[in-house]
Structure 1
Amino acid sequence: MAHELIDLLWRDHSAAPQGGARGPRAKVTTSEAVDAAIGLADAENLNAVTVRRLAADLGISTMAVYTHVGSRDDLLVLMIDAVHARQPRPPYGSELWQERVWQIAEADLALYAAHCWLLDVTDQRSSLGPGTIAKYDHELHAFDGTGLSDIDRDAALTFVADFVRASAQAHRPDPHAADTAEVWLAWNQRLAGYLGDSYPLAQQVGAAAGAAMNAAYSPDHAWAFGLERVLDALTALIRTERRRPIDG
């Protein structure tokens, strides 16, 4: 019988409940099943991760998989926490909070690039896992010395994380990207002929942006511009916090 999800998340902790000694040893471990599921999602997509497919890849029965993960939804939570646990967390190399925040933003963007399926699953239960908590604790320290309250520190990190997730979606590999670039170049003059004098501001700004990015949209440009604005907003918040009088 499978343990509850909280116990599966903390299965390597000394306080986690252990299975009985009776019966044959399982052919695979829970961690091996989770690793196989991550590999499948990375190689194909999240839709490929089914209990039946996972069982076939592992050479065990579907019922045996359920003894390890409980349900497919639980499996997804275990996968999220596992990739969070393995994300590199090097020491911060700067005393400036802005550079530390940029560092965690870049790290999270790289995590999404390595595991695009993370963009397709959201389950708040993953926040209960050791890998996710370790990631959260590390990223909170990016705001050390800012004077933010605990609540504002959490909100600031969420603000950054939401921006990174949206940007990661824009950076997601597009199978039509090459075709889009060619179409942009080939159709630019023809589009101008259709528009004529209509929408002059859209034409002016679109032409300037298109020339700068050589495309209708550049995720890299949007990333740099957007993250700078995120830092600007947080700078304003931190300045306000530092000016606030201390009670007592």
Structure 2
Amino acid sequence: MTREDDSGTPGHDPQQLWLSPGQPRRGRKPAFSREAITTAAVALADAEGLDSVTMRRVAAQVGAGVMSLYSYAPDKDTLLELMIDHVSGELPASAALTGDWRTDLKTIAHLQRSNMLRHPWLPAALSTRRSLGPNTLAFLEHALAALRPTGLDGAAKLEIFAQLTAFVAGHVSHELTQAAAAGSPDRAAAEARYLATVAADGHHPELAEALSAPARPLTPEATFTRFLNRLIDGLGTDD
């Protein structure tokens, strides 16, 4: 997200941000809502990436002056918090749970992946998040309920959810990078030739053995599911 003003230290009061929704911080009430501002910012990020989201661009999208936006989002970091929670509202937080916590966690992870693929800027944005909005909290509550059968304490359950989210974000980031690289088949072919040459030089027997193994499905969905299964099936219920 491009910075327009680097003066001061961005920050917000979570209570002011989340518990007083839609209330401007100063000045008269604008003729638009915080929801409209956030929706416009998300649309820009979806279409052009986070760097396209400036207060000036968002103001133009909602037909407002730039300064009026600061009543609702005093800095771009706060706007990003609003954007993250806005798209978190797409995650179903009231879906029925099976009671099998591993199965339920896998479902949660697939939902997160789909959400991040719809909003490719989200994995990077999550690393800057400083507070949890109402939509995020609702999904967290759902995940903690899924983990109840483990018998783990609250701290451990929070750690597992954080680990799961970090895994999904990292995998989606890699997935998006690979998808972009797939547009260059010559590069992929050159990489394959290089690895085949290295594997045949006699100095990398482990790599040669790995490359000679039967190929597995390489679709993004299949790859994600394999990695996810290894992660969750390996989780125990001991601290």
What is the TM-score with the length of structure 1 in the denominator?
A: 0.78
The 8 Å contact of residues 23 and 72 in structure 2, kept in 1 or not, is answered as: no
How far apart in 2 are the matches of 1:136 and 1:187? 41
Q: What does residue range 93-242 of structure 1 map to in structure 2 within 5 Å?
A: 93-121=97-125, 122-127=127-132, 129-172=133-176, 174-180=179-185, 183-185=187-189, 188=192, 192-193=196-197, 195-208=200-213, 211-213=215-217, 219-234=220-235, 236=236, 238=237, 240=238
Larger radius of gyration: 1
- The one-letter code sitting in structure 2 at the alignment partner of 1:137 is E
Partner of 1:9: 18
Measured after TM superposition, the shift of residue 56 of structure 1 is 1.7
How far apart in 1 are the matches of 2:206 and 2:62? 58
Q: From the superposition, tell whether residues 205 and 32 of structure 1 become closer, same or farther in structure 2 (CA, over 3 Å).
A: same
Measured after TM superposition, the shift of residue 185 of structure 1 is 4.5
How far apart in 2 are the matches of 1:4 and 1:153? 26
Measured after TM superposition, the shift of residue 160 of structure 1 is 1.5
Over residues 154-202 of structure 1, what are the superposed CA-to-partner deviations in whole Å (9 max), with x where a residue is unaligned? 112222222112111122253221424x544477457645754342321
What is the TM-score with the length of structure 2 in the denominator?
A: 0.80
Partner of 1:92: 96
Measured after TM superposition, the shift of residue 125 of structure 1 is 2.5
Measured after TM superposition, the shift of residue 5 of structure 1 is 5.4
Q: What does residue range 49-68 of structure 1 map to in structure 2 within 5 Å?
A: 49-68=53-72
How far apart in 2 are the matches of 1:95 and 1:4? 37
Q: 1:34 aligns with which of 29, 32, 38?
A: 38
Per the alignment, in what secondary structure is the counterpart of residue 71 of structure 2? helix
The 8 Å contact of residues 92 and 100 in structure 1, kept in 2 or not, is answered as: no
Per the alignment, in what secondary structure is the counterpart of residue 116 of structure 1? coil
The 8 Å contact of residues 109 and 164 in structure 1, kept in 2 or not, is answered as: yes
Q: From the superposition, tell whether residues 148 and 188 of structure 1 become closer, same or farther in structure 2 (CA, over 3 Å).
A: closer
Q: From the superposition, tell whether residues 146 and 31 of structure 1 become closer, same or farther in structure 2 (CA, over 3 Å).
A: same
Aligned length: 225
How far apart in 1 are the matches of 2:73 and 2:23? 15
The 8 Å contact of residues 38 and 79 in structure 1, kept in 2 or not, is answered as: yes
Over residues 126-172 of structure 1, what are the superposed CA-to-partner deviations in whole Å (9 max), with x where a residue is unaligned? 32x21121111111111122211111111122222221121111222
Q: Which runs of 5+ in 2 are unaligned?
A: 1-11
How far apart in 2 are the matches of 1:19 and 1:159? 35
Measured after TM superposition, the shift of residue 58 of structure 1 is 1.8
- The one-letter code sitting in structure 2 at the alignment partner of 1:179 is S
Per the alignment, in what secondary structure is the counterpart of residue 103 of structure 1? helix
More helix by share: 1
Per the alignment, in what secondary structure is the counterpart of residue 153 of structure 1? helix
How far apart in 2 are the matches of 1:7 and 1:151? 26
The 8 Å contact of residues 78 and 126 in structure 1, kept in 2 or not, is answered as: no
Measured after TM superposition, the shift of residue 9 of structure 1 is 2.5
The 8 Å contact of residues 25 and 71 in structure 2, kept in 1 or not, is answered as: no
The reply on whether 1:70 has 2:91 as its aligned counterpart is no
The 8 Å contact of residues 97 and 142 in structure 1, kept in 2 or not, is answered as: yes
Measured after TM superposition, the shift of residue 40 of structure 1 is 0.8
Q: From the superposition, tell whether residues 229 and 110 of structure 1 become closer, same or farther in structure 2 (CA, over 3 Å).
A: same
Measured after TM superposition, the shift of residue 8 of structure 1 is 3.1
How far apart in 2 are the matches of 1:26 and 1:72? 18
How far apart in 2 are the matches of 1:113 and 1:59? 29
- The one-letter code sitting in structure 2 at the alignment partner of 1:6 is Q
Measured after TM superposition, the shift of residue 4 of structure 1 is 5.2
Per the alignment, in what secondary structure is the counterpart of residue 163 of structure 1? helix
Q: From the superposition, tell whether residues 5 and 48 of structure 1 become closer, same or farther in structure 2 (CA, over 3 Å).
A: farther
